[in-house]
Amino acid sequence: MTGIRRYIRFYVGNAYHELATIAPTRTLLDWLREERGLTGTKEGCNEGDCGACTVLVVRLEGERLVWRAVNACIQFVSMLDGAQVLTIEDMRAPDGSLHPVQQAMVDHHGSQCGFCTPGFVMSMVAGRKAAGLGQDERGIDDMLAGNLCRCTGYAPIVRAMRHAMQAGPDHFDAMADDMAARLRTLRDGTTVDMAGPTGRLTIPATVDALAHTLLENPDSRIVAGATDVGLWVTKGLRDLPHVIAIGQIADLRRIEVTPQGLFLGAAVTWQEARAALAEILPQPDEEVFRRIGSVQVRNAGTVCGNIANGSPIGDGPPVLIAAGATVHLRRGDTRRTLALEDFFIDYGKQDRAPGEFVEGITIPVPAPDTVIRGWKVSKRFDQDISAILGAFSLTLAPDGTISNPRIAFGGMAATPRRALRTEEALAGQKWNDATLEAARAAIMADFTPLTDMRASAWYRSTVAANLLTRLYADCGPQAARVPTSVHAACTATGDHAHG
Ligand SMILES: Cc1cc2nc3c(=O)[nH]c(=O)nc-3n(C[C@H](O)[C@H](O)[C@H](O)COP(=O)(O)OP(=O)(O)OC[C@H]3O[C@@H](n4cnc5c(N)ncnc54)[C@H](O)[C@@H]3O)c2cc1C
Ligand code: FES
Ligand code: FES
């Protein structure tokens, strides 16, 4: 540790701010609107769903400026140390002309009542800045999935985005060197520790500083991306007396290939992890990780936060369990590694001692003959929580014999859990109609799901079995030939697995 700073500092637009007293859970949205008078950023849902509050957070990573759209309603001001925040008020160029995205929204009638418009504009500006986002129709849909509009029907907005993607540089391009130089001055490698009106904020500079702070303050609360914790504050109205913000700890932002597999540090976001995950888990990346929240949520939310949160309907754990991931835990200077499935003990209970934290996860690189699949089943394609998520890994010998089956489900029990009886029904068997039927029966014995607002117990059990059929149709040796009896069963039970 090179010293302690008693305040946080960041830019909003071109204005430099130092804050020595702020509640660690003060949301960026409230602060912008109530203390800065920047009311162009709107409050819609206050829970990360509607995108009306979208702002850009720009950071200097290495020597590269990285632009991210995030939901200001579930970002805490305390997480912005060292960043530049841009709001809709910053989008006009210094000469007063509209940003190319704003101009495209005008030209293509992308706004009616206008309430959602600032949020859309911010997502579109971020999309232009982020390589690989919004380059094609699907990319545009993905980029705008986190913004809701009640008026326009989206077609004009999508047209505006298509044109904005082709438009020339904006005024930020000309300012990039200045922005980088400014952000460079905010780098000091210092731990922040400050007292606010409702609690204490610590931003450890290193993972060692984190380990010791947590050991000394086991009742403190780690905040990574705040996409779960933010809702405890905005909807649960909870105060957190001591927040430890870990999102910018360099040691925790590592994405590395090790002899054991792909390592993701605890501060790696879903959006950052996706390219590496897609390399080893291409189908689950497409079917599951692409559908975690929205760009704004994936830009803030971390893979390890999804695990540490321990939700039975988190989308990451079932896929990562099926893939054989391990979780690395650290308490003080003591480290241990667990199979990910063993981390989840019961509803709301994980194998994590006071003062212990998740340092990262490792996902083994699948062998070439291993098939890994995951399917998220939810009422909407975008921005929805899973009713059920099934993830499957198995190795198929050339003669169709199954080995090493690993099957995990979310939404079927109090924790993300393996389907051990189903695995037993598959292991060593030939992948054929009879084995599928045996596995479908076994899955009923594996789980006794609940009925809740997302799905009935009957629906969950039926879909779980039907996902096995889907696996069989998708990658069994008889791929594409689903047996008639199973097909009839699917139809009768109303399988809308990809609904
Ligand atoms: C609009 C919206 C949509 C969403 N959609 C989805 C979805 O489709 N699928 C899905 O699975 N989730 C979804 N989520 C939930 C959330 O985005 C994910 O769970 C995310 O991965 C959480 O990561 P985070 O970094 O934001 O966690 P945080 O909110 O920062 O933390 C979550 C919990 O984990 C703890 N924690 C975080 N990091 C560590 C660590 N390193 N060690 C120990 N404890 C730690 C925190 O103390 C807290 O208890 C959604 C959330 C929102 C707001
Ligand atoms: S106000 Fe709806 S996402 Fe923030
Ligand atoms: S223009 Fe009215 S909500 Fe989008």
Place of tokens 């893979």: 303
30 touches ligand 2 (CB under 6 Å):
no
- What are the structure tokens assigned to 344, written together? 């989840």
Residue 498 lies in a domain: no
Residue 458: how many other CB atoms lie within 10 Å: 12
CA of 120 to the centre of ligand 3 (A): 10
Residues 340 and 387 occupy one common structural domain: yes
Measured between alpha carbons, how far is 167 from 101 in angstroms, rounded to an integer? 8
* Residue at 499 is within a domain: no
Asked if 350 and 422 sit in the same domain, the reply is yes
Q: What CATH number has the domain bearing residue 122? A: 1.10.150.120
Token pair 């830019």 in the structure block, residue: 11
71 located within any domain: yes
pLDDT tens over the chain, length 499 residues: 458 999 999 999 999 999 999 999 999 999 999 999 999 999 999 999 999 999 999 999 999 999 999 999 999 999 999 999 999 999 999 999 999 999 999 999 999 999 999 999 999 999 998 865 556 888 899 999 999 999 988 999 999 999 998 888 999 999 999 999 999 999 999 999 999 888 999 999 999 999 999 999 999 999 999 999 999 999 999 999 999 999 999 999 999 999 999 999 999 999 999 999 999 999 999 999 999 999 999 999 999 999 999 999 999 999 999 999 999 999 999 999 999 999 999 999 999 999 999 999 999 999 988 999 999 999 999 989 999 999 999 999 988 899 999 999 999 999 999 999 999 999 999 999 999 999 999 999 999 999 999 999 999 999 999 999 999 998 876 554 444 444 344 333 333 332 2
Closest CA to 134 of 84, 89, 67: 67
The span from the first CA to the last CA of the chain, in angstroms, equals: 51
Instruction: Find out whether 399 and 430 touch, Cβ atoms under 8 Å.
Output: yes
Query: 3-state class of 120 per DSSP?
Result: helix
Q: Are residues 85 and 140 in the same domain?
A: no
- Decide: 394 in ligand 2 pocket, CB within 6 A: no
d(CA 457, CA 314): 18
Ligand 2 contact via 50 beta carbon (within 6 Å): yes
Residues 125 and 149 in one domain: yes
CATH number reported for the structural domain that contains residue 306 in this entry: 3.30.390.50
- Ligand 2 center–CA 232 separation, angstroms: 14
Tokens of 99: 């940003």
Q: Are residues 437 and 407 in the same domain?
A: yes
Query: Do 281 and 425 fall into the same domain?
Result: yes
Tokens at residue 139, please?
Answer: 């990319």
In this structure, the answer to whether residues 258 and 240 fall within a common structural domain is: no
336 domain-assigned: yes
Q: What is the DSSP string of 349-378?
A: EES--TTEEEEEEEEPPPPTTEEEEEEEE-
Q: Is 109 in the pocket of ligand 3 (CB under 6 A)?
A: no
DSSP character at residue 40: T
List pocket residues of ligand 1, CB cut-off 6 Å.
47-49, 74, 221-229, 231, 266, 292-293, 297, 300-302, 304-306, 308-309, 314-316, 357-358, 385
For 86-96, letters b (16+ CB in 10 Å) and e give bbbbbbeeeee
Of 112, 136, 169, at which residue does a domain stop? 169
368 lies in a domain?
A: yes
Residue 95, domain member (yes or no): no
Would you say the C-alpha torsion 411, 414, 416, 421 has a positive or negative sign?
Answer: negative
Pair 364, 260 in one domain: yes
Minimum CA distance residue for ligand 2 atom 3: 48
Residues 325 and 344 in one domain: yes
Pairing assessment for the beta strands 8-12 and 15-19 based on DSSP bridges: antiparallel
Q: CB 13: neighbour CB atoms within 10 A?
A: 14
Residue 309 located in a structural domain = yes
Chain-centre distance for alpha carbon 264: 13
Question: Is the residue at 348 inside a domain?
Answer: yes
Domain boundary among 169, 184, 212: 169
Does the beta carbon of 444 lie inside 6 Å of ligand 2? no
Query: Three-state SS string across 248-277, please?
Result: CCHHHHCEEEECCEEEEECCCEHHHHHHHH
Q: Count up the domains in the chain and report the number.
A: 3
Domain boundary residue among 141, 169, 197? 169
Residue 85 Cα to ligand 2 middle (Å): 16
Whether 116 lines ligand 3, by a CB cut-off of 6 Å, is yes
Residue 401 DSSP symbol: B
Ligand nearest to the CA of 52: 2
Assess whether 163 and 191 both reside in one domain.
no
Determine the distance separating the centroid of ligand 3 and the alpha carbon of 226, expressed in angstroms. 27
Q: Are residues 161 and 182 in the same domain?
A: no
**Residue 187's domain is classified under what CATH number?**
3.10.20.30
Q: State if residue 152 touches ligand 3 by the CB under 6 angstroms criterion.
A: yes
Q: 11 and 24, same structural domain? A: yes
Provide the residue range defining the domain that includes 16.
Answer: 4-89+174-245
Degrees to nearest 5, angle at CA 386 with 384 and 387: 120
